[in-house]
A and B are shown apart, each in its own frame.
Chain A
């Protein structure tokens, strides 16, 4: 396996890490809980809560992997994976559960029966089971909060009700990033939930963060080519890092922005993709370049691609915003502002026909640099529709600085205080 493949698997989350970093207690808690369900047949319900990219799914998958390695458990649990984004209502969710449990009303991949029948069938199946003899079912509900939006929360009520009554042993594991998820649950549903929550909130310090970057970048011990292994791991040693204060700055900035692994992986992936056969080691400059790509402002990028006319319209809008303190404007106002500029200050830009200006205005709208404020667009003439600019001053100024061959009079107009 090449190191490229190794890293792509690591950074694109195709392979689970050996063990989850920085969440040992949560790991232990969850493993213990699921083990009790699997071995003792104790029903449980738990929510894993943490911000996006904090490793909820990774933790759960690590725990499941570990759980299934236990001999007794291996053949004894039935995991059912559901995702709130896929199973958007209870009907679909029930079919999916039934299919994954492979109950008797499933033939091949098809689930027979109506919604009501499926529900009754599943409940009957779960009711018939008992703690000691039936296989524990692990219901894993990804995006748990979305299930709470289903009608009557029927599915949640029933799953949690099973977990609180002497039926087939189940563990209901919800994954969500919403801290207020319990408030979404209806009072009956909430009462049946065990209120066990595992929070994944990383309190990683910058030093630990740097260590993580290093460990994420280093090749594993069992890498076959030992010479390359040594060279590579040597190239990412501490001294290389600390000798580049710029690099530390960049990483600090990333750390300040977000501590989660997903954004770090994105950065490292970009840096790593600059490594080639001719340049077999990762250099600090690669990381700097990657960081620049990551941090770049998307809107400023779009502004670079605009025509001079469109840019002028944007500047006109900026002035209107300044004058009217952010009140919405319409095409006519922008056009007037633009004409004033043409009459008074412009040397390089000629007059444009109104339809041409209108076309440029519409293009800006399509790019979503400006946005219509009215919901009912049909009634009002295009020229008089109220618009708002979705750009910040700083973005406009930055774009102007970088705009290739921008006429100086336009630049000056942009920087002048009032039109």
Chain B
């Protein structure tokens, strides 16, 4: 990706290039072949052609939207510039709650193919920032190791519900397949045939043999015909559905900036290429086809026409790389319908597609090596490639300088040596690219030499198309010319194909293939050397970046400035945690407060109320506040989390719109103003100062924005967000009232009357009257909670449970306390399990012991265990209190009593220093409350326990 200097507000100028063709007569829209972008005051012109991956201006300057350009169109005046795109998502654009579905940490450069329908795929062309490189990484392959900054990787698709393995067909590069191609979301959103990744991998790279697969493919094509119209309908539907879309974002933002990417030679080359490749005649034919297509959408005939038109377009632009490989293999072929057909046609045209279809992969230099291997050992080629895919060493990682230089030579040599073997074995081993076989045969039989050249050439060109090197043009031209010629053949061929005529299928294949191949070869011979250098250059470039990246990583640890990017994590353990062994362990694990219960019993009413509140707000797209109060441990936070879980499930099921859940906690921040920072960080991953965050949030919630989903904000421990001016609270309650905010704020605090007590009127008024109070649990509820948590693990006697719940309910109604006591009781039970009488169940006695431990005051025991002098001192304190009639005395006064008492007790009197030490010890335990010790003998002494308790304890000691 190219760097954008966001501060540099440059004005970009967008101009249509190429000849317009009428795209839709009714709407008076015109299609265009490419778009020239230039920056005011600079000469360099960047050309964007359909098929390229582009960056589109969005909210985030650093991470603009990514999409694949499908076509350009505009109105008569040529002022309105629009483009049809296929969106890709970055992970940051995936809703927060769905990110986990990925199930692994995302690659920083990873993007996802967007299969959803919510986004409008029509954008303002003037929001295009530039081009970007996108590479498809097969599912089971790790990401290329040192990911260069400029390349994004696609592995999975995202259909708003789940990440699916991306059908590689979708990623086939058809750079120039322009107007009539239907917009992408033709596929039903859940298109993820599980079988595809496995079956496809090897097949793609395989070389063709005439096979029964022809039949299969024919069958699948007939299937697709049936579903075509359905697919189309779904597109229309999708278009009508679109509500908030990326597009509108880019529409709003007028593109004023310009990427330096625009200067890359590749793009300029592309421009020349397309100029050369668009002779008028072909254009008109394409137009005619388009019209036909538009007018008679439903008819089968038109479908075929449409197909052919798409083909012809691809031909014009000479992209001969699309594979057809998967056609026959796809179990539910109809889903990939349009792609398949076009790819078939393309395959027919070009020998180049041989094993090289994976366009994006071809961009990596080491791809060459792979293909070389495939050719060297054709029988094993599939295997070898699979291996290399599985291994963590990725293509790019394979390119140290030495390898790069030699690889080409070596592969060439090997290939030459094994050429004969090749010819025969390829036919046998390589399965499904059946349509290729005849041509391949021709080619091979004609001359080995030639074949090598062509292969070399193919690879070279693949590399080139991706990097858009200038040397491409001549061959491309030829290819296009051939393509044009072939177009007609293809059309009729496809008609036949759709009629399921198997024979014609293969015939047509031959017809169109051979000439193109020949032509291509003749033209490319001279270029070969040239291209090689280009390829080497490309590699050099790639190699450099890949070489640079690894040394970056270790340096991170050395430089002291980097901890900003540190990832917070606790080291993982070497030995995995043990699972609970016996029934008591199991019970203890279930009773731990942290274990998430299957359900939240006893809060059904509260749950329903909160659920209804949040659901209605999410459905309406409005905002609101709710205040929830209750003493600690009454399940406030747990209930809300449960509500959110349920709502998220509902939104996964598409019952309600997606929403975003953010949680902040007043206790988990150092300062009330940090709330802004945390909210912003959770919303956008930005790290800014509190003031700036407040401003940004203000903007975000007050301005209308596209594609805005409802945000549900949970503010726990609200009382800690109190500031003198109360501006944090004010903002939190004010934002939901804004028209475009779509913010639901749920606040939690302990006291019922918090709004009245600490909030000034304007804050309390904004909070509104939606209040809810969680009552402390009753003993029945507590019992139910424990029982439901235990979930049939029989560890407690019924009476024991009742005792716990009654006791806790009487004291606080805190569920946490209840669970803690139960856990402690299981421990006590375990320790006493050595007794032969024990049943292994937690009984009353155990619970009693646990209750005693937790609730009984330790003062009495402490007094009982105190030393004699300490006990005497306590008695002296009481005696002095009685004498004075006050609950307070100075040490001096008490010490007089103490001395008298020790005489009575027959003890040797202690010195003042010792007496003070005794007093201080009692003070440290907080049996006594003392003044500061610098007052020495004058410090006042007070009892922290009631006199009765002291006397009781002392009496117990004496008895």
A residues contacting B by CB (< 8 A) are 28-29, 32, 39-43, 49, 51-52, 72, 75-76, 78, 90-91, 101, 103-108, 110, 112-113, 115-116, 119-126, 128-129, 131-137, 152, 154, 157-158, 161, 163-169, 177-180, 187-188, 190-192, 194-197, 199, 201-203, 253, 255-259, 295-300, 326, 368, 371, 388, 390-392, 394-395
Partner of A166, one of B595, B671, B912: B595
Q: How far is the CA of A179 from the CA of B938 in the complex (A)?
A: 25
B836 at the interface (CB under 8 A from A): no
Assess A40 versus B577: contact at CB under 8 Å? Given A125-B570, A161-B667: yes
Contact: B677 with A116, CB < 8 Å?
yes
Partner of B924, one of A40, A51, A161: A51
Q: How many whole Å from B63's CB to the nearest CB in chain A? A: 21
A178 cross-chain contacts in B, Cβ below 8 A: 924-926
Q: How many whole Å from B954's CB to the nearest CB in chain A? A: 15
Assess A188 versus B667: contact at CB under 8 Å? Given A32-B827, A39-B577, A179-B925: yes
Q: Residue on A with the closest CB to B821? A: A195
Assess A52 versus B578: contact at CB under 8 Å? Given A119-B669, A128-B570, A253-B908: no
Q: Which of B929-947 contact A (CB under 8 A)?
A: 935-938, 944
One digit per residue, 1 when the CB lies within 8 angstroms of any chain A CB and 0 when it does not, for chain B 554-594 equals 00000010011011111111111111100001001100111
Q: How far is the CA of A125 from the CA of B668 in the complex (A)?
A: 13
Assess A192 versus B816: contact at CB under 8 Å? Given A52-B924, A179-B858: yes
Assess A256 versus B867: contact at CB under 8 Å? Given A152-B720, A297-B911: yes
B402 at the interface (CB under 8 A from A): no
Q: How many whole Å from B808's CB to the nearest CB in chain A? A: 11
Tally of contacts, chain A with chain B, CB under 8 A:
234
Interface residues on B, range: 35 or more
Partner of B572, one of A126, A133, A163: A133
Q: A40-B589, A191-B633, A326-B892 are in contact. List 10 more A-B contacts (CB 8 A).
A: A52-B921, A78-B571, A103-B566, A104-B567, A154-B670, A157-B667, A178-B925, A187-B750, A196-B853, A197-B854
A157 cross-chain contacts in B, Cβ below 8 A: 667-668
Contact: A137 with B668, CB < 8 Å?
no
Assess A187 versus B632: contact at CB under 8 Å? Given A107-B560, A119-B670: yes
Q: Which of B305-336 contact A (CB under 8 A)?
A: none
B823 cross-chain contacts in A, Cβ below 8 A: 194
Contact: A131 with B867, CB < 8 Å?
no
Contact: B927 with A258, CB < 8 Å?
no
In the complex, the 7 A-B pairs of residues with the closest C-beta atoms, listed nearest first: A104-B566, A191-B632, A125-B568, A41-B577, A201-B865, A297-B911, A124-B568
One digit per residue, 1 when the CB lies within 8 angstroms of any chain A CB and 0 when it does not, for chain B 392-403 equals 000000000000
Counting chain A CB atoms within 10 Å of each CB, the highest count among B596, B853, B865, B908 belongs to B865
Selected A-B contacts with CB under 8 Å, 18 pairs: A72-B575, A115-B670, A125-B569, A134-B571, A137-B570, A166-B595, A178-B924, A188-B667, A191-B632, A192-B816, A194-B823, A195-B821, A196-B820, A201-B864, A257-B910, A258-B918, A296-B911, A392-B892
Q: How far is the CA of A163 from the CA of B944 in the complex (A)?
A: 31
Q: Residue on A with the closest CB to B558? A: A107
Q: How far is the CA of A255 from the CA of B864 in the complex (A)?
A: 15
Contact: A165 with B575, CB < 8 Å?
no
Contact: A129 with B862, CB < 8 Å?
no
A129 cross-chain contacts in B, Cβ below 8 A: 569-570, 572
A188 cross-chain contacts in B, Cβ below 8 A: 632, 667, 717, 750
B residues contacting A by CB (< 8 A) are 560, 563-564, 566-580, 585, 588-589, 592-596, 631-633, 667-671, 674, 677-678, 717, 720, 750, 814, 816-817, 820-821, 823-824, 827, 831, 853-854, 858-859, 861-862, 864-870, 892, 895, 899, 907-908, 910-914, 917-918, 921, 924-927, 935-938, 944
Q: How many whole Å from B912's CB to the nearest CB in chain A? A: 5
Counting chain A CB atoms within 10 Å of each CB, the highest count among B571, B862, B918 belongs to B571
A128 cross-chain contacts in B, Cβ below 8 A: 568-570
Assess A177 versus B925: contact at CB under 8 Å? Given A32-B827, A107-B560, A368-B936: yes
Q: How far is the CA of A320 from the CA of B596 in the complex (A)?
A: 72
Contact: A195 with B854, CB < 8 Å?
yes
Contact: A134 with B572, CB < 8 Å?
yes
A101 cross-chain contacts in B, Cβ below 8 A: 570
Contact: B820 with A195, CB < 8 Å?
yes
Q: Residue on B with the closest CB to A154? A: B667
Q: How far is the CA of A197 from the CA of B937 in the complex (A)?
A: 34
B720 cross-chain contacts in A, Cβ below 8 A: 152
Assess A256 versus B869: contact at CB under 8 Å? Given A296-B911, A392-B912: yes
Contact: A255 with B569, CB < 8 Å?
no
Contact: B862 with A179, CB < 8 Å?
yes
